Amino acid sequence: MEGTGSRSGVASSAVADGSLVVWTLCSVLLPVLLTLWCSLQRSRRQVLIRDIFRKSKHDWHYTDLFGQPSYCCVCAQHILRGAFCTCCGLRVSEGCLKRADQRFPCKEILLRSGGGTPGSMPHHWIRGNVPLCSCCVVCGQQCGTQPKLCDYRCVWCQYTVHDECMIDSLKTEECTFGEFRDLIIPPYYLSTINQMRKEKKTNYEKVVPYCRKHWMPVIILANTRSGNNMGETLLGEFKILLNPVQVFDLSKITPAKALQLCTLLPCNAVRVLVCGGDGTVGWVLDAIDEMKIKGQERFIPQVAILPLGTGNDLSNTLGWGAGYAGEVPVEQILQNVMEADGIKLDRWKVQVTNKGYYNLRKPKVFTMNNYFSIGPDALMALNFHAHREKTPSLFSSRIINKAVYFFYGTKDCLVQECKDLNKKVELELDGERIELPNLEGIIVLNIGYWGGGCRLWEGMGDEPYPLARHDDGLLEVVGVHGSFHCAQIQVKLANPVRLGQAHTVRLILKSSKMPMQVDGEPWAQGPCTITITHKTHALMLYHSGEQTDDEASSMSEQEHVREQTDEDV
């Protein structure tokens, strides 16, 4: 009996152990299998979504969370995530994407044949998800106040209308293109130009009366890799307000190709808004110079800037601000572009010729818009550039970029790698040799701002010096005693060593290797001769908006200097 009982106990324990193993395996394997199944389904959905995105005429983008209350344009259900079109503003849930793509047309870049009388087109209404605080054009009351898919918006003029105010006449009424009619390239204009090109006609000016009396079409060139990575968002906002054909992503197309659109538009009427840093602006201006070489001078546009970079000194000089972080609505930016005044900007040729009897290399040639420097600030730019090349993902914020510059500036205060520059360099201004004091750096300025917002030539503003301008054919040349001296100048605790103004600057590096930079592009240079001469003018746009305290004080100081000069005369 005892043997039988022991055998049954062993059998029952074995069964219990086996069931425990089975349940343990189920508890482990079941979640794994569910996870694999879900990931497989998700990947299949993503493949289907990408396929729809690729074939669609809409510019679809997927988001995990909409920035405002949104409703699907097909099923009218409230959605937190889904797809949206950056051109027409449609929002749709993942399950309704295919039906929405087939049912709703996007903004038309070209007007279809038979799409109405030449020079006109009807409204293109989209239902639901109207902008916050928009008002009905019929009754004047606020739209989009109900928690459901309601009210209409025209994708061209941005007018909004209540469901109950929408009447048949509005559906067939001619669209006026709204507030930015003078900036938009209408689809019927491009259709007419396309037809003229087929007939080999080039007198595009005759088409302008079909558009606007004071037409100044704008082209948006955005660098999505600049500074604080706002370019992607801005591209979508500009596509909503303008014709998508006017908006270009410079990470996908070069400025030279994008600017060929100017040749299809009226002469001397086009304005270009560059969204990026000073390097992006220089890239665009180089492309405009290529247009001059091709004989396309009459199509040269005027250039405005939306500063997305780190320093943005050229943007600051031209009144567009020291940096953009979304604080100004896109509508206001376009209004500023419309109201901006045209000015000229000097552009300079920087030629670097290496020393040596057997040097067969061609001289390096750069184009300068902002400044050239040799010394501590070029060393900071060189270290920053090398660090960014190794880990570009870390440099996606303007604050982080400036912090890295600060770190390298502090390091140079202790190490002083550029000391005794005056013994290594000879300086000539308009052919006249300049005796150099004890310096660590020399900076040649074309614009008023330097180093991320410092008015270097004016310094503390306590000494009467000729005013610095960006269109007078003159360069301002200053010296600095080191990184600490640069920091003092930036907070107006010291003046630079003003070496003079000149039409031509010549620097001779006699020995050793020194850091140099042109408009933030640094390199290490051995013995050479640097010659800076005037190259050309660029047509820019100046925004005379609200002045900062520094700008106001600088203007008052400049006026005071003028008064003193008049009294002396």
Buried b (16+ CB within 10 A) or exposed e, 369-407: bbbbbbbbbbbbbbbbeeeeeeeeeebeebeebeebbee
> How far is residue 540 CA from its own chain's centroid?
16
Per the CB < 8 A criterion, the answer to whether 254 and 287 are in contact is yes
The label of the residue with tokens 């746009």 reads 541
Q: What is the per-residue pLDDT for 24?
A: 80
Question: What is the rounded CA–CA span in Å between residue 399 and residue 418?
Answer: 26
Per the CB < 8 A criterion, the answer to whether 335 and 241 are in contact is no
All residues at 6 or more sequence positions from 520 whose CB lies less than 8 Å from its CB, including other chains: 277, 278, 279, 311, 370, 381
Query: In order of start, what are the domains of the chain with their CATH numbers?
Result: 52-107 (3.30.60.20), 216-339 (3.40.50.10330), 347-535 (2.60.200.40)
The dihedrals phi and psi of 28, each to the nearest 5 degrees, come to: -85, -45
SS (H, E, C) 518-533: ECCEEEEECCEEEEEE
Q: Calculate helix-pair angle for 483-490, 398-415, nearest 10 degrees.
A: 130
Say how many CA atoms lie within 13 Å of 470 toward its Cβ. Answer: 26
Q: Calculate helix-pair angle for 376-390, 398-415, nearest 10 degrees.
A: 130
Pairing of strands 505-509, 247-249: unpaired
DSSP for 162-231 reads -TTT--HHHHHSBP--GGGTTT---HHHHHHHHHHHHTT---GGGGGGGT-TT---EEEEE-TTSTTS-H
Q: What is the per-residue pLDDT for 344?
A: 95
Per the CB < 8 A criterion, the answer to whether 72 and 82 are in contact is yes
All residues at 6 or more sequence positions from 197 whose CB lies less than 8 Å from its CB, including other chains: none
Per the CB < 8 A criterion, the answer to whether 350 and 365 are in contact is yes
The label of the residue with tokens 């219990």 reads 16
Q: What is the per-residue pLDDT for 542?
A: 95
Buried b (16+ CB within 10 A) or exposed e, 232-249: eebbbbbbbbbbbebbbb
Beta-carbon neighbour count of residue 347 at 10 Å? 20
Question: What is the rounded CA–CA span in Å between residue 303 and residue 314?
Answer: 12
Beta-carbon neighbour count of residue 209 at 10 Å? 10
Q: What is the per-residue pLDDT for 549?
A: 43
The label of the residue with tokens 């001059």 reads 292
Q: Residue 137: is it exposed, middle or buried by C-beta count within 10 angstroms (0-12/13-18/19+)? A: middle
For the chain, 569 residues long, the average pLDDT of each consecutive 10-residue run is 56 71 80 80 76 88 89 93 92 91 89 60 91 89 90 93 85 86 89 81 65 82 80 90 94 94 89 93 94 90 91 90 88 94 95 76 90 88 71 61 61 65 91 91 92 82 78 92 83 88 94 88 91 95 67 45 41
Sign of the C-alpha dihedral, residues 123, 129, 132, 135? positive
Q: Which of 558, 327, 323 is nearest to 457 (CA)?
A: 558
Q: How far apart are the first and last CA of the chain?
A: 132
Q: Residue 476: is it exposed, middle or buried by C-beta count within 10 angstroms (0-12/13-18/19+)? A: buried
β-strand partners of 371? 445
